[in-house]
Amino acid sequence: MRILLWHGYLLGGTGSNVYTRALAREWSNAGHDVVVVSQERAPEQYDLGRAQTATVDLPGGLLPVFVLDRYEGLRPKLLQDFTAGERAAYVEANSAVLRELLPADLVFANHVLMGAAVGAASGAPFRVKAHGSELEYSLRGRPELEQWARASLARAEATYVGSRHIREVLEDVVGHVERVVEVPPGVDVDEFVLQEPDRALVRLVEEARDDPPNPGNAEERLPDAGNADRFAEFLRGGRPTVVYFGKLIEQKGVQVLLEAMRHVDARLVVVGFGPYRATLEAAAPPDTLFTGPLEHRHLVNLLPLATATVVPSIFPEAFGMVAAEAASAGSPPLVARHSGLAEVAAGIEASYPERFRHLVSFETGDAADLARKLNELVALPGHDHDELKRAARRAVVERWSWASVARRLLAPVA
């Protein structure tokens, strides 16, 4: 098949960016002719398999976003704050690039808006992946955007959701949508693997030494300067280690984790960037290391060092990708039990011995409950922790590998 894979953002970081890169790799390596159309100015720095790339020249540099971040060379603006003229110009610029790349068997677009609107304007058969952020942050409670999304999705061959929770949110926000298919996101189970901690630390330090310069940590989208030496010092020895990785915004609930860690005898590594970082650093207990954002090449070596990986979100999540990646690498995830995170928790619990199933999730926003669960995890004997590591990985391999997800997204839709 010839597939045009459209993404409205950059290709680095987490969430839908990782999703796009993974699909590009899987589909192109499977023999499909794939072109990734995105806003990324340096796509060559990412592993996209055999996929080709195209970059859109955005009118006025305006980039519609759901959460305000800084984007070098672009002017981010909340989607709901775009004027009708700005929305039309954005859709036309993106759909024009797609039309130039036609013919294609399929346009696959990320996000209900602007993805469905761009897909519809391309004139080609298209499918849409709803990621959840657009629904909660920008569309909900805004009738004009809700109506536009509903009309655009009506023209799609299929609308994919990553969990039952997002199917319900889509229906609640946009109204009834035909041809909705539930396919969870995937994990690269060949990249996130079990490793011996000593070997993983050596590799993590080596990867950090290859990081680009970031004097004074001036660039928030790059790893912090000096991470290699900081990792080697902070992570040496066999002390229990807790990891968080994701955006540093209040909705992710990192503040709940920081409060809990004051009552846990373990060190904490906080990975990510965002406007809440300075506030979190000021509130962090001793023995906490902030690293800035890390790529998969770092995370695959950091997670095997983690006694537990915590996903403390206090806002609905489409799917627990962080939890699944951690589990694949043998770091037992501990997640707030709500929305798509609850579905991931259920899948992991099904693989755990019954006596450990209560250690997969905690009450949302409850730092005391989180601290109790973390203390149980870090106190487990080595053989019990090894059993959890193997069970967590087994759950991911059986349910959430990227190869199976990529095939399901191209299957015929009834």
* pLDDT single digits (tens) 368-396: 999 999 999 999 999 999 999 999 999 99
* % pLDDT > 70, the chain: 100
| pLDDT per position as a tens digit, 265-303 | 999 999 999 999 999 999 999 999 999 999 999 999 999
Stated pTM of the model: 0.74
**pLDDT higher than threshold 90 for residue 413:** no
What pLDDT score does 63 carry?
Answer: 96
Q: What residues have CB less than 8 Å from 407, skipping those under 6 apart?
A: none
Distance CA 266, CA 263 (A): 9
Q: What is the pLDDT of residues 21-35, one digit of tens each?
A: 999 999 999 999 999
> In whole angstroms, how far apart are CA 103 and each of 2, 35, 36, 48, 400?
8, 12, 15, 21, 32
If pLDDT is split at 50, 70 and 90, which confidence band does 72 have? confident
**Average pLDDT, stretch 63-77?**
90
pLDDT in tens, 324-355: 999 999 999 999 999 989 989 999 999 999 99
Q: Domains of the chain by range and CATH?
A: 2-183 (3.40.50.2000), 197-399 (3.40.50.2000)
Q: Which residue stretches of 5-116 are H helix?
A: 16-29, 84-101
Q: What is the mean pLDDT of the chain?
A: 95
Cβ-based burial of 26 (10 A; exposed 0-12, middle 13-18, buried ≥19): buried
| Per-residue pLDDT, 321 | 85
